Chains A and B, each alone.
Chain A
Amino acid sequence: MKGSHLGEFQEVVLLVILSLDDNAYGVTIKQEIAEKVNRSISRGALHTALTRLEEKGFITSEQGESHPDRGGRKKRYYTVTNKGVAALHDAKSIRDQLWNQIPRLKLYPGYDK
């Protein structure tokens, strides 16, 4: 099913939004990705990812309060939908399944020694 596929970067964004709980908006998401995932991304790239996720129905957004720190502009907060959580679980189970299929030896070379 095209359109519901979860890209790798999109997965990261989803996880970051979840970890930020109710403080997930543009700037915090970007900072979190930079710190935790060690990836420096542009606001533009993030925007594209967020738009895609929203189109797929994995996240929703709502306008929040305005703040003098940002020139009185309102923030847009993102929350992960149930569908988004389900997609994360799917992605994880596919990975786990793959992990389990791999013989231990290949993953930990030198383990039997």
Chain B
Amino acid sequence: MKKSLPTPPKLYSRLFKRLCRDELYFELQGDLLEEYWLNVEERGYRKANRAYKMEVVRLIRPSVLKLFQKQKKHYNNTAMLRNYTKVAFRSLSKNKLFTFINITGLAIGMSVGLLIVNLVFDAVQFDQFHTNKDRLYRVLSTPVRPGLNSDQSATAPNILGDQMKADLPGVDEVVKIRRWFSGRIKMEKGSLFTQGIYADENFFDVFSFDLKRGNPSTALSNPFSIIITETLAETLRPGEDLMGQILTIPDRGEFLVTGIVADPPVHSHMKFQTIASFSTVKALEDQGIISNNSQSWEDYSSGYVYFLLEEGQRMDNVQVWLNQKGLDVSNQFENLDVTFATQKITSIIPGKDLNNQIGAELIPLPIIILGAIAMAIVLSACFNYTNLSIARALRRSKEIGVRKIVGSSKRQIFTQFTIETVIVTLIAVFFSYFLFLVIKPLFMLSIPRIDQIMQPETPPTLMIFFVLFSIVIGLIAGLFPALFFSKIKPLTALRNNSSLKLFSHVNIRKALIVVQFTLSIFFLITMNVVSKQYRYAMIHDMGFEKENILNLSLNGNDARKLITEIEKIPEVSKISASSMVVGTGASQSYMIKNPVRNDSAYLNFISATPEYFDIHDIDVVAGSIYEPRKPEERLNRMMVNEKFVEFQGYSSNQEILGEQFIINGQPVTVTGVVEDFNFQYIEEPIRSLVFFESDIRFDFLNLSIQTALLPNTIDKLETAWDVVDSETELEVKFLDQELEESNAFLVIFVRVFGFLGFIAASIACLGLLGMAVFNAETRIKEIGIRKAVGASIGNLVMILSKTFIRLISISGIVGSFLAYLVLDKLVLAQIHYRVSIGVLEIMTAIVILFSLAILAVGSQTWKAARRNPVESLRYE
């Protein structure tokens, strides 16, 4: 017999082993080998090798391949499932601490996930109730005008709708809608402010709003017809039938109620309380009550055009027509360049970020960001589960060994562990739901206008999605442990625990801990930095006086009349009228033409009386404030800020005095220059600004008052207000308070990130706690021996905590770096007047997390280290 036999081609042997059924492998491979060696002796290597290869290839047939092996049928499936569930509950109750850690972590993490599930659930249902939703579109426009931002807008000139109806084949219906039919409806006592729209008579043919009373095809035919919602009808005249009655809207006229409509569904992008017939617009324009815009190609802020595409028609034709129209309009107007696009009604929410939305909007980006963050947190909780399960494999491996020996297949073990995980996540989603009920109202309070998207109540269908969500999370969290356990070899598992390849996954586990802590640090630093920005915004010198200025909304009343009334109140020292509350938002703009350079730009303006500058403590750096003079001369004078001087190309403030600019075709002379101040948000750099005194633009009165006498003053103001307007309530607010409110989004940011940071940190710490417990348990003998030979408790704590401390330090460095990059380069980069990220913000986050982590690790190691070595060595 030969000492060493030749080996057949290895690749083919390996291939065969891979493919061949286990129970056939030994005899077939034996036959192949025997024949091979015979062949080698008789015919030589080359021929033997070739024959061997041929044999292997020809053995590739269904009766040999694993692939075609029929799964053994398990007729006792339900019994096995019951067994899995039972074993799952037993093992969960056996390891109460780990179960607690897992369920708490998953419940906390999933509560954020449920919030997102809820948000998405609501968002995708938007406008699904329209029967024509598949061919219902609206026109979007992008007007580009010099000096103005050129964002896409949900609006389109109404005249475009008329032309579409007349010229464009392939469109069934066109509905023109116009917003700002808002006003106070007179009631028996006082009046009620309502939000409304104007709409064409075919409104109900196209949209599926439920008209309860009235004729859908004629209700909106005549001018001064109005349709009101059921709720509004009930509020206006409880128990009375309003059909055919007259409603008086002071600024608009008298309206005949021609229909009662059900309240617009929650999931409608369009919300209204009243609908007036579109023919009313023309009538009001003719009467000079509203400005003459509905036939203008330059109006991109109030009209909407919806249309119903003919069935089977393609959108291309419409787009071609719209493109041509855009070109025509752009050629017609010197300072306007416009393009039109279309948007399907179901893509409005969630949809693009557009200007001038008719109702709610939900842009996908914040949702994606929020979703990503929520996903990161949920996954972080899943990591914990994975981590702890695998760490505990030592304890489960014997069970798996026995199971496999009595005939469990890999697949069965996999199923068992997946079921166990899903049970854990189902228990967790139960607790998570209660957490969700707590955080949902907070969430809805802190995100502005989210109530237009999300319903406060939780419908039962949503529960199904919650359960599905938890099952998906269970599958994700359980995948890795289930794979790991199903691969355990029964012999190794039973023979010797230590030979299990347990610690091959140590690096993955460490990486997961680092990821979790990095995430937590990131959120905490974000919270710190944003709250610093908020504090900065609050004390930032905007360049004007914030204290003791009370702003009064005119609500359409005559400013001069009210001023004469309020001047009688001694507590009000100074008083001015103006068009905007300074520092709280975008101002209005006008096209201003420079006659010398012959170019024009839209520039911001504030309409203000001369007292305005004194009240707000805005210094005049050149020239003088325009004088009070006769009304017809007021519009010929203006003040500008220093940025304007620079923008118009003058080298000094003196030079611009007396220069003339063209506004609305009228020459206007510059009388003075004021210092620059933040008239818009703090996020924006200071831009060019002009002041003039235009009575029709006044929306507010600015009162300089002494706060000490406030309640008294407010009473007197109310008396004065009643003289001018007996119907509406007085609305006043302090300037500093309004500024605070305009920065409220930063507070939201702080809250949201603080909350996320808290959640991420607690999940991370729970995971760390679990790992520390596990670590202390597995090294119990080592600790006992070390202690017996003289290690001190301090030494032992050091030894046990070392790894964790190192991991958290890495996370601290990575997290701070990441937070610095994201915040400095992305978030704060959007803000003009911003804070820098200091060491303090980073250090506090790190210190908070470090102390939590040390608490988690320290408590466990301390416990382990203090144990009597006699006990721990006797253990088992």
| A residues neighboring B (CB under 8 Å) | 25-27, 30, 42-45, 47-48, 51, 63, 66-71, 73-76
Contact = CB atoms under 8 A, between A and B. Distances in A.
6 A-B pairs with least C-beta separation: A73-B30, A26-B31, A42-B58, A70-B34, A44-B59, A70-B30
Given A42-B55, A44-B61, A47-B28, 6 more contacts: A26-B27, A47-B24, A47-B61, A70-B33, A70-B34, A73-B27
B60 A73 contact: no
Given A27-B35, A30-B35, A44 B30 contact: no
A44 B35 CA distance: 13
Given A26-B28, A42-B55, A73 B33 contact: yes
Contacts of A42: 54-55, 58-59
Nearest to B32: A43
Given A30-B35, A44-B55, A71-B5, A51 B63 contact: yes
A48 B60 CA distance: 11
Contacts of B28: 26, 43, 47
A69 B38 CA distance: 9
Interface in B24-66: 24, 26-35, 37-38, 54-55, 58-61, 63-64
Nearest to B62: A48
B26 A69 contact: no
Contact of A71 (B30, B58, B59, B61): B30
Contacts of B58: 42-45
B63 A75 contact: no
A44 B65 CA distance: 11
Contacts of A25: 27, 31
B1 interface: yes
Contacts of B35: 27, 30, 43
Nearest to B54: A42
Q: How large is the interface on B (under 10, 10 to 19, 20 to 34, 35 or more residues)?
A: 20 to 34
A44 B64 contact: yes
A51 B33 CA distance: 20
A103 B89 CA distance: 81
B1 A47 contact: no
B26 A27 contact: no
Interface string B59-75: 11101100000000000
A75 B32 contact: no
Contacts of B54: 42
Contacts of A44: 55, 58-61, 64
A69 B34 contact: yes
B29 A73 contact: yes
Nearest to A63: B27
Nearest to B37: A69
* Chain B interface SS verdict (over half): helix
Nearest to A49: B63
Contact of B26 (A30, A45, A67, A74): A74
Contacts of B33: 69-71, 73
25 contacts: A25-B27, A26-B27, A26-B30, A26-B31, A30-B31, A42-B55, A42-B59, A43-B28, A43-B31, A43-B32, A43-B35, A44-B59, A44-B61, A45-B58, A47-B24, A47-B59, A47-B64, A48-B63, A51-B63, A63-B27, A67-B30, A69-B33, A69-B34, A71-B30, A73-B26
Given A44-B59, A44-B61, A48-B63, A27 B31 contact: yes
Contacts of B59: 42-44, 47
Contacts of B38: 27
Q: Which of A30, A45, A47 has the most chain B CB atoms inside 10 A of its CB?
A: A47
Contacts, number: 68
A43 B61 CA distance: 11
Nearest to B64: A47
Q: Which of A30, A43, A48, A63 has the most chain B CB atoms inside 10 A of its CB?
A: A43
Contact of B31 (A48, A63, A70): A70
A39 to B, nearest CB: 14
Contacts of B37: 69-70
Nearest to B34: A70
A26 B28 CA distance: 8
B481 to A, nearest CB: 36
A75 to B, nearest CB: 6
A63 B30 CA distance: 12
A71 B27 CA distance: 11
A47 B29 contact: no
A75 B30 contact: yes
Contacts of A68: 1
Nearest to A68: B1
Contacts of A75: 27, 30-31
A47 B26 CA distance: 13
Contacts of B61: 44, 47-48
Contacts of B32: 43
A74 B27 contact: yes
Contacts of B29: 71, 73
Q: Which of A26, A44, A69 has the most chain B CB atoms inside 10 A of its CB?
A: A44
A71 B24 CA distance: 15
A63 B31 CA distance: 13
A73 B61 CA distance: 22
A66 B27 CA distance: 10
A63 B63 CA distance: 19
Nearest to A29: B31
Contacts of B34: 27, 67, 69-70
Interface in B1-38: 1, 5, 24, 26-35, 37-38
Nearest to A30: B35
Nearest to B24: A47
Contact of B27 (A30, A48, A69, A76): A76
Interface in B233-265: none
Contacts of B31: 25-27, 30, 43, 70, 75
Contacts of B5: 71
B55 A43 contact: yes
Contacts of B60: 44
Contacts of A70: 30-31, 33-34, 37
Contacts of A27: 31, 34-35, 38
A48 B68 CA distance: 14
Contacts of A74: 26-27, 30
Contacts of B64: 44, 47
A67 B38 CA distance: 14
Contacts of B1: 68
A74 B32 CA distance: 12
A45 to B, nearest CB: 7
Contacts of A51: 63
B54 to A, nearest CB: 7
A27 B30 CA distance: 9
A62 to B, nearest CB: 11
A51 B61 CA distance: 12
A8 B28 CA distance: 24
B37 to A, nearest CB: 7
Contacts of B24: 47
A55 to B, nearest CB: 10
B738 to A, nearest CB: 87
Contacts of B27: 25-26, 63, 73-76
A111 to B, nearest CB: 44
Nearest to B35: A27
Nearest to B26: A73
Nearest to B61: A44
B761 to A, nearest CB: 59
Contacts of A76: 27
A30 B39 CA distance: 13
B38 to A, nearest CB: 8
A71 B31 CA distance: 10
